[in-house]
Amino acid sequence: MLFDSLTEKMGETVRKLRGVDKITEKNVAGAMKQVKRALLDADVNLRVVNGLIKQIKERAIGAEVVPGVDPGQMLIKIMHEELTEIMGKDQAPLAKRSDGQPTVVLLAGLQGAGKTTAAAKLALYCLKDKRSVMLIAGDVYRPAAIDQLKTLGDMINVDVFSMGTDADPRDIIRKGIEKGKENKIDTLIVDTAGRQVIDAKLMKELKDVKDISKPDETLLVVDAMTGQEAATLTRSFNEEVGITGAILTKLDGDTRGGAALSVQQVSGAPIKFIGVGEKVEKLEPFIPERMASRILGMGDVLTFVERAKEQMDEREAEKMTKRMMEAKFDFNDFLKQTKMISSMGSLAGVMKMLPGVGSISSAKMAQAEAKLKLADSLIKSMTVKERTNPELLYSGGSARSRILRISKGAGRSRDDAEDLVKDFLKMRDMMSRMSKQMVNGQGGPGGSGQPAGNRSQRRKAAKKKAQKRTAKRGFG
């Protein structure tokens, strides 16, 4: 899971700081000791760690306490800003030419880093950005590299230019770029050969390819699992070839996070993208500020919203909101919601993007994930009629026999099926009440009192209020 261990340790430090009534050398030193240990355990470069700790200490101890602002929160804010700074501060976007010529993106890296998959992921990202894309298969040395790229290209409906394994990579790239220009392609992504180690031959070929392609971006694909070694590798490539940025792959695995925190500081090259899963759509732009929030267990609501938007149809969302308000939400709706969450990533990964949820233990997250899987198997054991009419499972003479049949069909106990129905009814009732409160402008518990819901719902709510006011005035 993305930075699980680091987030847990940093989140613990953040929780201890909340409630601190004043900033002193003693409590800053205590917090920084924990932060330093957490970062070193995450395999962050020692020079980077020492620089970060020094900067936080200097700013925190010298900071003026703003009246009405919790001193602990001020220290957390300083930590967040300094973490953002070491990861590059601002997002480094992918180049995009505006002179009618194609944007050429050259990918380099060692074998096993996931370069070919990253090429396809980047192509899909460009398609979503409304660009036309072509992939150029320049890796003629690794067996099946061209076939892999063609398979991935077919999956995302992107053409792959190839001349087979007997051609010289320099000729492939030269002719591939010519082809792209002929077809007026916006973005050309070049997959080059990887090696087991950095050697003179690899660097010579890369330099030749770079001279031929004159790329707008030269991105190094590095495996985040290698920790701070990824930063050292990025620096070597930057010094030898000159790169514009890096793509960190496998950041969703059992990675300690050292690469993300070290690459920019050690190499001078920014991280542009991160791979957060095996699927071809699992590539995200690297945004230092959001990553710092995740590391500190503060969530990442903006990424959550962006992922949800990708998976959710706006009209479907409006229909579902209406069904929630009218307490007509059924098991089909429940399945659609769980499917959307699954498509966004693991439940733990999705939930940890929400503020305050980062402190929930991995064990509890695993229990919640298991409960969702149990619910999924029970719902899929229901008939179409039962999914659409949940009341059949708790009222009427056939309810008990239906519950028994569903539990047997799913290979679960009768208690599991009964618990699902009870939990579902509680959830449906709660969603209906909350939706009505929000649309009526009550804001719900701790709300702002501002009307929520979609535009048409807000208009209806305002119209009802106006009618009530008019009725109260009377005619005298």
What's the CATH architecture for 4-86? Answer: Up-down Bundle (1.20)
pLDDT at 26: 82
Mean pLDDT of 45-73: 80
Q: Where are the domains of the chain?
A: 4-86, 103-298, 304-458
CATH 2.30.30.40 at 103-298, yes or no: no
- Determine the pLDDT at residue 10: 78
Looking only at the bridges linking them, the beta strands covering 217-223 and 187-191 are unpaired
Rg (CA), the chain: 27
Contact 142, 193 (CB under 8 A): yes
**Cβ contact 249:223 at 8 Å:** yes
- pTM of the model as a whole: 0.68
Confidence of residue 347 (pLDDT cuts 50, 70, 90): low
d(CA 464, CA 468): 6
**Where does the pLDDT of residue 45 fall: very low under 50, low under 70, confident under 90, or very high at 90 and above?**
confident
164-209 pLDDT per residue, tens: 999 999 999 999 999 999 999 999 999 998 877 777 877 888 899 9
In which band, very low, low, confident or very high, does the pLDDT at 233 lie, cut at 50, 70 and 90?
A: confident
Supply angle C-alpha 249, 228, 271, rounded to 5. Answer: 45
Percent of all residues in the chain with a pLDDT value above 90, rounded to a whole number: 37
**Token digits for 179?**
């082809």
Architecture of domain 304-458: Orthogonal Bundle (1.10)
State yes or no: pLDDT of 265 exceeds 70: yes
187: helix, coil or strand? strand
The residue assigned the tokens 């999914």 is: 387
Torsion angle of the four alpha carbons 315, 316, 321, 325, in this order, in degrees rounded to the nearest 10: 110
Mean pLDDT of 347-366: 62
| Residue pair 153/120 in contact by the 8 Å Cβ criterion | yes
What pLDDT was estimated at residue 92?
Answer: 92
